[in-house]
Chains A and B, each alone.
Chain A
Amino acid sequence: MRTSNTRKDAGRGMLFNSVEFLIFFPITVIIFFLLPHRFRRYFLLAASCYFYMSLIPKYILILLFTTCVDYFGALGCEKARESGSKRLSRGIFITAVSLNVALLVVFKYLGMFEDTVNFFGRLFDMRTLVLPEMVLPIGISFHTFQSMGYLIDVYMGREKAERSFIDFSLFLMFFPQLVAGPIERSSNLFSQLKAESYIKYDNLSYGGRMMLWGMFKKVVVADNLALFADAVFSDPRAYSGGGLIIGILCFTVQIYCDFSGYSDIAIGAARIMDIRLMQNFDTPYFSRSVPEFWRRWHISLSTWFRDYVYIPLGGNRVSKPRWCLNQLVTFGISGIWHGASFTFVVWGLLNGVYIVLSRLTKDIRDRVKSLLRIDRIGWLNAGLQIAVTFCLISVTWVFFRAESFSDCFYVLGNLFAGTKCEFTHIEIFRAYIAIGAPVILFGTELLTKLPAVTGWYTGGTRAAQVVRLVSYALLLFIIVVFGAYDNKSFIYFQF
């Protein structure tokens, strides 16, 4: 996959889990608050540009192109609409969206197009098509979607076009959410970027906590589990049964911690600067159904697809067959958004199929549960639902992570064939972390679901204060001693 280049390049830049960021961020925050309000936006934009350019400098030009297209596109749309020329407004809108999509196609999907053409070309003995190899710009799908969301809102008249080029550029380039989201809405971010920010204890405390927790998820859980997941998915045929199941489970937890860890750090970093980014994950692996999972996983993207694809297609106010089609189309597009490969499309469609089946089989499932009297035992019912949802979602990650369909089918076809799970080159110590860290993670997430515990923990008693400080210190200790420090990039950078 061409995306591998990107991951390699991303590793050289300023990642959230790099020492560079550890220096960059406090300096940025201090200067940000020291500057008078009117200069802060300029400074934040400059800092964001520096942050992005530390990854791959030349890509700033692509970002500048998107910024210009959507800034002027939105202004043009609005002006044309206000002057009564809906046709012109539509023309500008379509042109701007097309340019955004073209950018994605050129930088992200050209390789997939080339592979597809060559696959069919081989069937008909045609000459091989060779297209120039493009390196995927970091986070292109995130900022393109954020920008397109704004454009659509302006075109639909839901938002006013932003007059200030600086403010619009900052909206797209605000460094905490620049490369892997959350995909913010203009309605949430513009007002905050324009408003004066203040140093607040709650912000510092919440932001610091989120960054610490995100770091734990990333460097302790995700990066250690990645060793096992990478071993299995880079050469699945070396494993069978137990090894494959371990690989899938590791990737299931890895991708969650990798991505939600990044989001937590982004949300925390922004919050310290008095800017609230939207929640992106809400303990998704405790979901009791696939539709619920998708309401709690990558919330900023799910709501983007809901608002800009699913609802315009008719949403659920259509006939059942049309609704099924809407779901499949939405999830199919979501799949292709995630990666330039047909395995991602299948991943998306599989999730769509789950959602469709979830609705179509609801009555039957309810009847079965009633017959077995499972629904009368609340905890058993919930536990089973969570377990089944987790397993279903884990299966979809095989298509997300595997490098080819042949690998996918091998993995799924050999899940129960044998127990071979020798992970050569991985120290047993890593296995302890791979087991221990998710226990801490999910244990903590479970505790946050208990109001009595969270009430006491966040309370003002001296004991609670001590426990809080000790838990933060323990977390920091675990990050320092057990973190994986090989500067692995975040998985979601490639999208």
Chain B
Amino acid sequence: MTEKHELQSLPEFFIKGLIVTAAAFLMVFGLNAAMQGFLDAELAVVEEAAARAAAAEAALAGAKTEAEAARLAAEAAVRKAEQYEQFYQKYKTRHCYHYYGQFYEMFENLYNADTIIIGTSHAAHGINPKYLEEAIPRRSWFNFALNGSNPKYYLDWWKVFLESGYPIPETIVFSVDWFMCDDGWLWRRIDFDTNPDCPAAIMRKIRKTRLMQAEDAERAAEIEEKLAAQEAAEAEKEATRADKINWLDLDEVLTWAFNRIPVIYSRDRIPEMLGWYIGGRDADALPAAEGQEETADDIDSDAPLPEVPVYVHERQVDKDNNITSEYYKGYVPWEADYNGRAKDQPCDLKEDQWAALDRLLDVFEDYGIHVVFVECPEYIEGRRARSMDDMGNRRLEEIAEARGITFFNYNIELAGEINADHTNFSDWGHMNTKGSTAFSKLLAARLAEYFETRE
């Protein structure tokens, strides 16, 4: 070192740098605390509703007469409906409400479907359980298809599914796609659903509240045990997640860290949060249900049994143009103008994803679940990566044949009018309301035949 270095200025530079950094991070943490408060308050409202529902359910056990049991059961049903409505009201503005709705079903068992649909966004926006129920009423249906999900994702999803305690389905309608093994196209990872403030994490908290609410001593002990087990499992999972991180990959570390800072992962909600702090805190009341003039609290013992409220939702479209207000058992319509444009994009089917698909099918087989493959219609003229679709479809056919799985491919042998008309689509691969309605009816008829033959 020579005397020309201005070393005496270094402390001043570092102190100023430190002040700037500290001030910036103070601002970040201040905003972060505000965001955490906002998110907690949002969840607290749903948790309160869940606690009321749990209390109503617990009260049912103490019914002394049949009439009282009927009244308490009706009241419990009302509370459960209110809980779901509160959940809808709080999470309807989130990015893709159907993710939340699906995990709600998984953890809160509203329908306990025996036949579920899994697959990608093509199925999430393309298969409406309403038409399947109409055609095959002896079965109960729920659409668990998630945007961007690939076989590896579903292997992880299955673990969450088992953890939730949802009844093992009798049949899975697996909406497969020729591109399903390209994890560039299908980007979903389970941490997108299990990270803090993500659907599965939220549902775990709500369930915990519900279980804690039960007053029965015997059940309370059982619940305590369950909770302890759940917490231990969560801690283990968190540790495993941390173990899996490559701490030398700084981008991965940053992603991991950012996913734990509410103001970063929920920064799109900053305007909403500011609105809430400034004046929107009274927006926790439920909207009036159809035909309901008094709340369940007002009902006295001589009044007729309370009816489960039916809430009418105003049209709600999310940031991705999903029509949230028309969400139905996991399905959500997606609307976008599409004029039949074709655009090629490279597609890279990965072997590890094919292997994951095999493992997934093994798991389903181990649980004795029947699997049906369905490939949702695409607008064939506008299809991306034209060179890859043959290869993907051929591979799927081979898998189906080897495992004896029935495969309804609506892009090859069953392709028809839907595929030829771009007005059925929001883009080359996603059907809009018109397309999904037509397709769901078509698929319902086909599945009705399938179940008849099988049974």
Contact = CB atoms under 8 A, between A and B. Distances in A.
B45 interface: no
Contact of A481 (B10, B251, B267, B269): B267
Given A235-B341, A428-B319, A473-B23, 4 more contacts: A18-B251, A200-B5, A427-B95, A473-B27
A199 B254 contact: no
Given A208-B17, A481-B31, A23 B6 contact: no
B337 A429 contact: no
B339 A237 contact: yes
Interface residues of A, number: 39
A470 interface: yes
Contacts of B341: 235, 237-238
A482 interface: yes
Nearest to B266: A429
A455 B253 CA distance: 42
Given A200-B6, A201-B6, A237-B339, A477 B17 contact: no
A165 interface: no
B5 A198 contact: yes
A93 to B, nearest CB: 40
Interface string A409-452: 00000000000001011111110100000000000000000000
Interface in B69-95: 95
B268 interface: yes
5 contacts: A201-B12, A201-B13, A235-B341, A237-B341, A424-B320
**Chain B residues touching A, majority SS:** helix
B21 interface: yes
A100 B364 CA distance: 60
Nearest to B23: A473
Nearest to B346: A4
B270 A429 contact: yes
B264 A238 contact: no
**Chain A residues touching B, majority SS:** helix
Nearest to B10: A199
A199 B5 contact: yes
A325 interface: no
Interface in A379-437: 422, 424-430, 432
A427 B319 contact: yes
A424 B96 CA distance: 12
Contacts of A429: 267-271
B7 interface: yes
A80 interface: no
B232 interface: no
A33 B2 CA distance: 11
Contacts of A246: none
Given A200-B9, A482-B267, A473 B319 contact: no
B303 interface: no
B27 to A, nearest CB: 4
Contact of A476 (B10, B21, B268): B21
Nearest to A234: B343
B336 interface: yes
A234 to B, nearest CB: 8
B316 interface: no
Contact of A477 (B6, B12, B27, B267): B27
A199 B251 contact: no
Given A199-B7, A199-B10, A469-B20, A424 B271 contact: no
A473 B321 contact: no
Contacts of B106: none
A211 to B, nearest CB: 12
Interface of A: 18-20, 22-23, 33, 196, 198-201, 204-205, 208, 235, 237-238, 422, 424-430, 432, 469-470, 472-477, 480-482, 485, 487
B403 interface: no
Nearest to B16: A469
Contacts of A235: 341, 343
A276 to B, nearest CB: 16
A238 B253 CA distance: 37
Contact of A198 (B6, B251, B263): B6
B239 interface: no
A480 B23 contact: no
A201 B9 contact: yes
By CB atoms of chain B within 10 A, which of A200, A235, A477, A482 has the most?
A477
Contacts of A20: 250-251
Contact of B251 (A204, A428, A475, A487): A487
Contact of A485 (B9, B254, B263): B254
A432 B21 CA distance: 25
B19 interface: yes
Nearest to B339: A237
A205 B337 CA distance: 51
Contacts of A475: 24
A424 B321 contact: yes
A19 B253 contact: yes
Contacts of A424: 320-321, 336
Given A201-B12, A428-B319, A481-B263, A18 B250 contact: yes
B258 interface: yes
A238 B338 CA distance: 8
A452 B164 CA distance: 65
B255 to A, nearest CB: 8
A355 B19 CA distance: 48
Contacts of B271: 428-429, 432
A205 B6 CA distance: 13
B64 interface: no
Contacts of B337: 238, 422
Interface in B315-370: 319-321, 336-337, 339, 341, 343
A148 to B, nearest CB: 34
A253 B273 CA distance: 29
Interface in B237-279: 250-251, 253-255, 258, 263-264, 267-271
Contacts of A474: 24, 27
B345 to A, nearest CB: 10
